[in-house]
Chain A
Amino acid sequence: MGLILSRAAQWTSSCKLESAPLNEFLVTQVLNYVENFVSRHPQEAEHLFEEPLQWTTTLKKVDFKEDYVISAIGAKSLEKDSEGKPLLQYFPPFVSVRTISQLSKLLQLAADRKRQELQACLEENRDLIAKIVGQRLVNTPEENLSALELDIRVKLFILLKHIDEKILNKFVGEIAKQVKLLPAAVEEEVEFLKQYCTEGGKRLLKSLRYTSDYEFPNGCRAPPWRQLLGEICYVVIEPCDAEALYITCCSAGVFLNAGLDKEEDESLYERQGDFYEDMATLLKRVSPHFEKNVRKQYFVEQKPRKSIHVAHVDYEIEKAQPKTPEEREWEKVQQALYARKKREPCQRWRNLGVLSIFGSDEDLMMSAAEKKRLGSKTKVTMKVGLTAASSIGLTASQRRRSIVASLSEEHCSESSSESEEEEEQTERRPDTSTELQSEYWQVQKLVKYLKAADQTATVLVLCAMMDLDLMKEVIQLAILDLGGLELLLNLLDTTDIRSKIGSLKILAKISQNVIIRQTIVNMRGLQRMVNNLDLPVKELQALASETIAHVAKFRRARRTVRVHGGIRKLVKMLDCFHYSAKPGEDMEKNLEVARCGASALWSLSKSSKNKEAIRKAGGIPLLGLLLRSPYEKIAIPVVGTLQECASQKNYRVAIQNEGMVKDLVKNLSSDNEELQMLCASAIFKCAEDKLTRDLVRSHHGLQPLVSLLSKAENKQLLAAATGAIWKCSISMENVAIFQEYKALHMLIGLLTDQPEEVLVNVVGALGQFAQIQANKAAICNGGGIRALINLLNGTNQALLVNVAKAVGACATERDNVAIIDQLDGVRLVWSLLKNPNAEVQASAAWAICPCIENAKDAGEMVLFLIGGLKLIIQLLKSPSNEVLTSICAVIAKLAKDKEILGVLSDRGVVPLLAGLTNTTDDRLRCHLAEAIGHCCMWSSNRACFGDHGAVGLLVSYLESNDNLLLLNTTMALYQLSKDPNNIITMHEEGVVEPLVKLIASGTDEIQEFAAGCVRNIRLLVLANQRAIY
């Protein structure tokens, strides 16, 4: 954090961090790293600082909880160093800490003030790193460090430096985003483009002019009141192949405006399209002619201009020259135009010392190919922006995260998870040129030999290459850039087995690099690997599939493997028990082949078409067979594939029918956390089905799931385990068993400080547990309800759905509603009705029902919610039946309160309900009839329902066999029959016959309502007769 503090952060004169967005960004980044540091590097986190970090804290004595001893003067931690000194000491207003883990604990204590704390810490410890690892180490030259690496202090130092560098890289991107257009830059571009408005072959545009000739002293042409909005000037451009474009240039970029108003001849300022960073980019988008011709010409004709320093360099190098993130294919033009604009960030970057990382002049030494790649890379960087910046090393964990993230992968389509993966490449590698030198030459030499060598020498050169540190990005990319990758892939087409094996051994390693992966796909590498899968050489098969497993991390790659018949071959490789003549060595080789095959299938199974292909190739029974084998290392890819595929129904059925649940349960108790996680995740996905839930129980899988809850450190595992518990607890028998193992208590404990993917599942499970009477009180008393209600403030929709369900389940207990209301829970649940997601709306409405029912004074509670009833009425127009059903249920509850019913009636609830009566959805009918019945209690509502045609349709509901529906319908009809006109309608619809039948057969209540209704009809008939005679 040395670099960022000294170079990147902006300081005020009093040594405080300015409250600038960039500083905030920095603090957030540092905060992230500190918070994750303990889990990632537990050992280093415990390392004692050379000097304690001390700062003025806002924490109070009361903030220090269990792990601290509180005394009259302050507090100190229970944790002590070897000399018995506490690792954290607090003497108000100062606090000093001596390990990273203490620092991170303290930040946790600070809760919502943690940013403030960290900022204070950074401000008062400008020489942070020196304090942590000692000044001497900081001054040690880089090259001496590696010799010392065993020392934990050195490791810590190197780690911190890495983090420093990472944050810095992200920071650079952040600055780049803030670059603004300046009037001068715009003017330059206009002048530049004007050159190409001439007649003739190189014409790009018909004309280009400003709307105003007057230029303000500040270089702007926009009227002053528009300048306030950052607008600089307006330009009219006529492209050769489109209508005139009216363009606004403002500091944030350029965009199309509404054009000229004929009468007033003044620009209409409204923005019509997207922002572009300059006019050329915009033109390129709207005018194909411009785009087509501009490439041809600019690069041929571009004349050196005063401000351009690169105009003479040829195109290839040019393309990748300045590695600024705002670079596009367009940079030539930009460079010409925005030399001034560019110099702005550049100055800043130079301060940061990053320019050398991104390459400047010394880059010219690199080959053109390297340039090209860097160019394309930065392009992508800029497209996806900073948000996705994630390190390449994270792929495995990303994969795991995506596993548990969504159960319904079918719906969210493959592309969602895949685009994420393609974004991996945004991470900019920090290769410095010194590092590059020796290893680069080494690779270059070997590639040269490889080109010349015959079979024997090829193998020797490949062996030499394997001795390089192939996991190092510099080397990976050197192999790529120097043409080594192509040679390696070409070897796969030869007949020499040993060369192929050597080549694949290298490919298997370097293909962990994203850029290499993509290049392999582009060079038809996957086809060649697939071709080698069915050669009868086991080592070759294993290596080829291992490499495929690495490469098939993005959709295009996965598709390629499928299209070239790779899946069939890989599935065949799983069949290792089939042709095993000799046990022993042979078996081991077969298993290794199967393991690699399964790994490849695991990667491939992220695409839904591939899941299908695996099934068609007969993969499921083979996977089941391997799952039963006692070899743990093979179980991981097998379960990985299965749980990935379990998003499809076919697989879930097969997992159930082929007896795989038993093996999944068995592996829950493995010592390998990854395997446990995958098994839990598979159960998570499969336990939607009742039979599977029962199988998990009968194979004693519930207890191991509960014991996984104690592994709070491994969040992926926790997410999968809680997910499995959630789905399994849909069966009440399972809840009872979970109870025996105290799962409820543990789940409540997981309601705070967990990532969302864990919370969703925990809350889902609590919702299920709360179906049991005793648990409702337990959740409320155990502090669970407070945590749940806090979660209602979140934004994650899946989480909100579950929280609403859980709160609703708790609210079915009368005493709990008072607590929920007191914690403002009712208002929060109600406000979820505003959420755009239908599922959230519905679950909120369902949760509201018991709240109303069990409230002491529902009327007061609801009328207090301003706009609450309006929301209810609005949702009666929802297109979702589930929402409509739940809202009808809410209305039925609400209408029991006269005052509320009055308001609802005023807001037109009757016509809306009547309009829904033509539905065919029985659940909706049921709650709708109930709502109608209860709404009859207000003045003219009965007649009003009749006027809107609800009565006749209600009669048709009597054809159903559903008792609840019949009850609600007869109740509604009974209420409606108090209006004579409704009786006439009912009679016309032939209501008497079904009613009479119900009097004979229905439950007591139904009989009563049906009889009441018939009575009303009869009374009307009698009255009529009396009137006649």
Chain B
Amino acid sequence: MMEMTAKSKKLLHAQVEALLRKVEHFNKTEIENLILMFNTLMAEQVSRGRPANGLKRGKFRGVLQGTFEMTNAVMMDGVFRSFDKDGDGVIILEEWIRGLSVLLRGTLEEKIKHSFRVYDLNNDKYISKDEIFHMLKHSFIKWPSEEDPDEGIKDVVEITMKKMDLDHDGLLSYEDFEKSVLDENLFLQAFGPCLPEDTTIEKFEEVVFKEPEQ
């Protein structure tokens, strides 16, 4: 970790105190470490022109890919959208900490909200069949070449929709989604991996949350 001036130490301390009150699941040291990580990432971010006030999409995707082993572009964009609460195209420190608190330590309910935001591609508060199809369209990897894979995918979308669309309006509302997940946990990541695996979390915490060396 780079040398810190007294001033920056003070700033850090203030940030930690502020965030500690706003975000659940983390303790002081953990928040501190995450802030430092954020700062490092910000510093690495090559910026042309005016420096950005938060992590940009590209840098964030790099983190998801490198640290959380996500590979699916649609999903990574979704997670970015879920983190970026105010939709301004960058992830500021508070969004960073809040997002990670869900990813790493979130309750089931928090995770359901996260997943829903990820899967709601156009941010209209509903997941439509088209959105689902878009997310699943490459999911058949060993399909017989002479057959049209879209047919199969469409059928899977149809079956899943039938099961999850509890109010039968042809769209998945948040309520539909939440009830379905509570009924069958496997639906939490129904349309793609948008949460890190337990083992990945463990690894991440091991590296990032180690006690600062005195």
Contacts and interface: CB of A to CB of B under 8 A. Distances in A.
B179 to A, nearest CB: 14
Interface in B119-148: 135-136, 138-144
A467 B160 CA distance: 11
Interface string B181-195: 000111101111100
A456 interface: yes
B58 interface: no
Interface string A471-501: 0000000000000000000000000011001
A453 interface: yes
Nearest to A505: B186
Chain A facing B: main interface SS: helix
Contact of A453 (B135, B141, B190, B193): B141
B89 interface: no
A460 B189 contact: no
B198 A464 contact: no
A455 B138 CA distance: 11
B24 interface: no
Interface string A428-467: 0000000000000000010011011111110111111011
Interface string B146-189: 00010011011001100100000000000000000000111101
A466 B163 CA distance: 11
B197 interface: yes
A710 B136 CA distance: 61
B186 A457 contact: no
Nearest to B108: A585
A537 interface: yes
Given A454-B139, A454-B141, A459 B193 contact: no
B140 A452 contact: yes
B139 A456 contact: yes
Given A456-B136, A457-B136, A449 B192 contact: no
Contacts of A501: 186
Given A452-B140, A453-B140, A464 B193 contact: no
Nearest to A442: B159
Contacts of B191: 456
Contacts of B143: 452
B108 to A, nearest CB: 10
A466 B186 CA distance: 12
Contacts, number: 66
Contact of A467 (B138, B149, B163): B163
A825 interface: no
Contacts of B192: 456
A459 B190 contact: yes
Contacts of B187: 463
A463 B163 contact: yes
Contact of B197 (A457, A459, A464, A497): A497
Contacts of A457: 136, 139-140, 153, 156
A448 B163 contact: no
Nearest to B144: A452
A583 interface: no
Interface residues of B, number: 28
Given A452-B149, A455-B193, A456-B192, A463 B186 contact: yes
A467 B161 CA distance: 13
A466 B183 CA distance: 13
A200 interface: no
B163 A464 contact: yes
A461 B187 CA distance: 11
Contact of B156 (A455, A464, A466): A464
A537 B140 CA distance: 27
A836 interface: no
A466 B185 CA distance: 13
A690 B143 CA distance: 69
Nearest to A498: B186
B112 to A, nearest CB: 15
Nearest to B139: A457
A536 interface: yes
A946 interface: no
Contacts of A466: 184
A497 B199 CA distance: 11
Interface in A171-194: none
Contacts of B185: 539
B155 A445 contact: yes
B146 to A, nearest CB: 13
A502 interface: yes
B134 to A, nearest CB: 13
A463 B160 contact: yes
Contact of B142 (A452, A460, A464): A452
Contact of B189 (A449, A452, A456, A462): A456
A168 B21 CA distance: 74
B53 to A, nearest CB: 34
A263 B135 CA distance: 92
Contacts of A453: 139-141, 156
Contacts of B160: 460, 463-464
Nearest to B158: A464
B147 to A, nearest CB: 9
Nearest to B202: A536
Nearest to B191: A456
B139 to A, nearest CB: 4
A158 to B, nearest CB: 29
Contact of A451 (B142, B156, B189): B142
B163 to A, nearest CB: 6
A501 B185 CA distance: 10
Contacts of B144: 452
Contacts of A449: 140, 152, 155-156
B156 A461 contact: yes
A460 B198 contact: no
Given A449-B156, A452-B152, A497-B197, A460 B190 contact: yes
Nearest to A451: B142
Contacts of B184: 463, 466
Which of A461, A466, A501 lies at the interface centre, i.e. has the most chain B CB atoms within 10 A of its CB? A461
A536 B202 CA distance: 12
A448 B156 CA distance: 11
Contacts of B186: 459, 462-463, 498, 501-502
A464 B139 contact: no
A460 B153 CA distance: 11
A537 B199 CA distance: 10
B125 to A, nearest CB: 22
Contacts of B152: 448-449, 452
A461 B189 CA distance: 13
Contacts of A536: 198
B181 to A, nearest CB: 11
Interface of A: 445, 448-449, 451-457, 459-464, 466-467, 497-498, 501-502, 536-537, 539
25 contacts: A445-B155, A449-B152, A451-B142, A452-B152, A453-B141, A454-B139, A454-B140, A456-B136, A456-B139, A456-B189, A457-B136, A459-B190, A460-B136, A460-B156, A460-B159, A460-B160, A463-B184, A463-B186, A464-B156, A464-B160, A467-B163, A497-B198, A498-B186, A498-B189, A501-B186
Given A457-B156, A498-B189, A502-B186, 10 more contacts: A452-B142, A452-B149, A453-B139, A453-B140, A454-B139, A457-B153, A459-B186, A462-B186, A463-B187, A536-B198
Closest 3 CB pairs of A and B: A457-B139, A452-B140, A452-B143
